[in-house]
Amino acid sequence: MPSSDIIQLLPDSIANQIAAGEVVQRPASVVKELLENAIDAGARHIQVILREAGRTLIQIIDDGSGMSETDARMCFERHATSKIRQSEDLFRIRTMGFRGEALASIAAVAQVEVRTRQESDELGTLIRIDGSEIKTQEAVATLKGTNFSVKNLFFNVPARRNFLKSNSVEMRHVLDEFQRIALSHPEVSFTLHHNDTEVFNLQSGKLVRRIIDIYGKSYREQLAYCQEDTSYINVKGYIGKPEFARKTRGEQFFFVNDRYIKHSYLHHAVITAFDGTIPEGSHPFYVLFLEIDPSHIDINIHPTKTEIKFDDEKSVYAIVLAAVKKAVGVYNLSQSIDFDDNINFLNPPPSNDNNLIPRPVMPDWAAQPKKGEKEPSRSNLTNWSKLFEGLQNSEDRSRELAAFEVSSTTVSRPAYQEQSKTVASKINRMASEVIAAPESDAVLFQLHNRYILSQVKDGIMLIDQKAAYERILYERYRKMLINRNGACQQLLFPKRIRLTHSDMQLVHETKKEIHSLGFEFDEFGSNELIIRGIPADLPEESEQDLFEELIEQLKQSYSDLKLNKPESLSRSLARRFSVRYAVKLSYLEIHTLIDQLFASSNPNRTPGGEAIIVLLTMDKLTSIFKN
């Protein structure tokens, strides 16, 4: 009778590959683990050499303590560690690596060569491993420290290798990991070479110098020191001044006991401290170090060790908030109070300079035909005007529509609003000259710069203004990306902007899509661009803000871009830029909005599925009042 036993121990090679699935996700994971080991070994100079974004080679050379022959062999065993002796040590961890899984996991999915020597030894040790199998172990002459070479990552796991992204994307992840470790250890010098090109050469020094060396000399003017010491936790580091806040994320760093962490709760504390000093949608720069007794934290909750738990998160939140808020006050970063302002008004009077207010783009047919010319055809539009049938004859309706430019502020509007003007395009100013005084029955009505109300045959049609523009912009951007014909408006004075290294890699990856939208730019140096043109139909504002917002949307939607770039990017951009159109509209702009909406493929829903139009029938209105 055959045995019914079916449970067996996994071979070490398979167990290591399973562990590698959690620890080694991409080349950046290997760079992170090897850099942390070099830091733990007391290295003062670390070199990183990459080829093809780490696919074919990741080499980390350090001048740390090195390893003995026995340690060099043992370090590739699972759960082999020099930092943990008993369970209590897990709650006293101050080093980077401690699990003892990294090297075993890396060796399971790559061809690894290590050369290492301790200062007291005359000869060092050379070990070569292919997919967990030791090929060579011998004594060699080598420099003090450790030289790790990881070649052909995932060579024996082709399915994992196929999931790697393009070199520019993988390099962006490598740069993120490199910069985090470089920021957390400014006392260590780092160099990074990619395909024989030097990317970074960071000399040891103070934190402020490290920040400037990584992000550029312009950061010298924007940094403000931040410090708060308590018996529970100490906070120190640098924050950026509000005027330097960017539209892109990626320059926000928390380090707990010199280890980089992600913590949305503490990020909220920093943003709260900046409340009222930076525009909505902008992100301040900060590099903050938290020193705390390891017994108060748990870092053993995630394989990448980037998540952390505090035993008293509320206290940490309050201390970080106080530290940043004090720095904002000490360095006079907060907006000063103007005692000449009329504080009885929640919103300031409209500015005379309305050029910054985004206006809807008028289609060709919206222009009034010259004398003797035939009016352009609208045959491509859905005949939405049928909704108005039964109100009156078309000639009277057209004359009545042209007579109204009404908003919800008509009743009891402040004195300063009565003097305001709707600034639009030249055609709108021409039309305003023939607009008659308002009469009693308005057919088009704008409510709080948010909704359009229109009288139709069987009741009232409500249009969500922002949602409508989201649908219109989505279809416009999608068409641009598919046809690669976005209209570009040339800048009279080209704008020079600086990006982070990782953002620059993203630009390389999506250059065709960015050009398709109407941006024109040239590279200027390693991570600077010269913006020569922007899309003709985007709101008028800072070219740098527009480009940074585009980069931020590319970051947020990149996971979907590989499947359908035009679809994903169009949705993301439309959702982001539609918020800029929550402004007062003239009659012609309202009419244009409705025409453009009903000319779209689905005027009832946004690309995300939210409703754009709601129809309140007469029966529905009657039932409301009867209730």
Report the alpha-carbon distance of residue 626 to residue 615 in Å, rounded. Answer: 19
- 466-501 pLDDT, tens digit per residue, is 999 889 988 888 888 888 777 788 888 888 888 888
- 234-262 pLDDT, tens digit per residue, is 999 999 988 888 888 889 999 999 999 98
- Please indicate whether residue 74 or residue 437 has the higher confidence score (pLDDT): 74
Its domain, for residue 23, covers 12-205
283 and 311 part of one domain: yes
Q: Measured between alpha carbons, how far apart are the two ends of the chain, in Å?
A: 79
- 438-460 pLDDT, tens digit per residue, is 233 446 788 888 899 888 878 88
- Please indicate whether residue 58 or residue 484 has the higher confidence score (pLDDT): 58
**Nearest to residue 284, comparing CAs of 254, 313, 323, 251?**
251
Look at the chain and report how many structural domains it folds into: 3
pLDDT for residue 353: 44
CA quadruple 324, 330, 336, 339: dihedral positive or negative?
Answer: positive
How many C-beta atoms lie closer than 10 Å to residue 16's C-beta? 25
25 and 155 part of one domain: yes
pLDDT for residue 519: 86
Residue 250: both structure tokens together: 């990626």
186 and 148 part of one domain: yes
233 and 107 part of one domain: no
Q: Is 521 contained in some domain?
A: yes
Helix (H, G, I), strand (E, B) or coil at 507: helix
The percentage of the chain sitting over the pLDDT mark of 90, rounded to a whole number, equals 30
Range with top average pLDDT, 334-338, 453-457, 540-544:
453-457
pLDDT at residue 141 tops 90: yes
pLDDT for residue 241: 87
- The answer to whether the beta carbons of residues 471 and 600 sit under 8 Å apart is yes
- Please indicate whether residue 54 or residue 91 has the higher confidence score (pLDDT): 54
Domain with residue 257: its CATH number is 3.30.230.10
Task: For residues 135-157, give the mean pLDDT.
Answer: 93
DSSP string, 112-151: EEEEEE-TT-SSEEEEEEETTEEEEEEEE---SEEEEEEE
Determine what percent of the chain falls in helix, strand and coil, rounding each to the nearest 5. Answer: 40, 20, 40
475: which residues sit within 8 A by CB, 6+ positions away? 570, 600, 601
Burial level of 275, CB count in 10 A (0-12/13-18/19+)?
A: exposed
190 and 274 part of one domain: no
177 and 216 part of one domain: no
- 298-311 pLDDT, tens digit per residue, is 876 555 567 788 98
Domain with residue 537: its CATH number is 3.30.1540.20
**Nearest to residue 590, comparing CAs of 401, 356, 375, 376?**
401
The percentage of the chain sitting over the pLDDT mark of 70, rounded to a whole number, equals 72
160 and 232 part of one domain: no
Residue 623: pLDDT band with limits 50, 70, 90: confident
**Nearest to residue 505, comparing CAs of 147, 272, 179, 71?**
179
Q: Is 377 contained in some domain?
A: no
* 3-state secondary structure string across 329-355: HHCCCCCCCCCCCCCCCCCCCCCCCCC
Report the alpha-carbon distance of residue 139 to residue 128 in Å, rounded. Answer: 12
pLDDT for residue 227: 92
Report the alpha-carbon distance of residue 167 to residue 337 in Å, rounded. Answer: 50
199 and 231 part of one domain: no
Report the alpha-carbon distance of residue 459 to residue 617 in Å, rounded. Answer: 4
- Range name among 108-117, 255-264, 577-586 with the lowest pLDDT average: 577-586
pLDDT at residue 79 tops 50: yes
Q: Is 71 contained in some domain?
A: yes
Q: Is 355 contained in some domain?
A: no
pLDDT at residue 407 tops 60: no
Helix (H, G, I), strand (E, B) or coil at 363: coil
Q: Is 342 contained in some domain?
A: no
Residue 184: pLDDT band with limits 50, 70, 90: very high
Q: How far is CA 420 from the centre of its chain?
A: 37
Report the alpha-carbon distance of residue 624 to residue 614 in Å, rounded. Answer: 15
173 and 147 part of one domain: yes
Q: How far is CA 382 from the centre of its chain?
A: 37
How many C-beta atoms lie closer than 10 Å to residue 392's C-beta? 13
Report the alpha-carbon distance of residue 305 to residue 298 in Å, rounded. Answer: 10
Q: What is the mean pLDDT of the chain?
A: 77
Which phi and psi (to 5°) does residue 496 adopt?
-100, 125
558 and 491 part of one domain: yes
Report the alpha-carbon distance of residue 506 to residue 509 in Å, rounded. Answer: 5
pLDDT at residue 392 tops 80: no
- Please indicate whether residue 175 or residue 221 has the higher confidence score (pLDDT): 175
Last residue of a domain, one of 205, 236, 266: 205
Q: Is 364 contained in some domain?
A: no
Last residue of a domain, one of 176, 205, 234: 205
Q: Is 400 contained in some domain?
A: yes
Last residue of a domain, one of 185, 205, 225: 205
pLDDT for residue 385: 54
pLDDT at residue 344 tops 90: no
Residue 229: pLDDT band with limits 50, 70, 90: very high
479 and 536 part of one domain: yes
Residue 195: pLDDT band with limits 50, 70, 90: very high
Domain with residue 49: its CATH number is 3.30.565.10
182 and 45 part of one domain: yes
Q: Is 130 contained in some domain?
A: yes
pLDDT at residue 419 tops 60: no
pLDDT at residue 386 tops 60: no
Residue 20: pLDDT band with limits 50, 70, 90: low
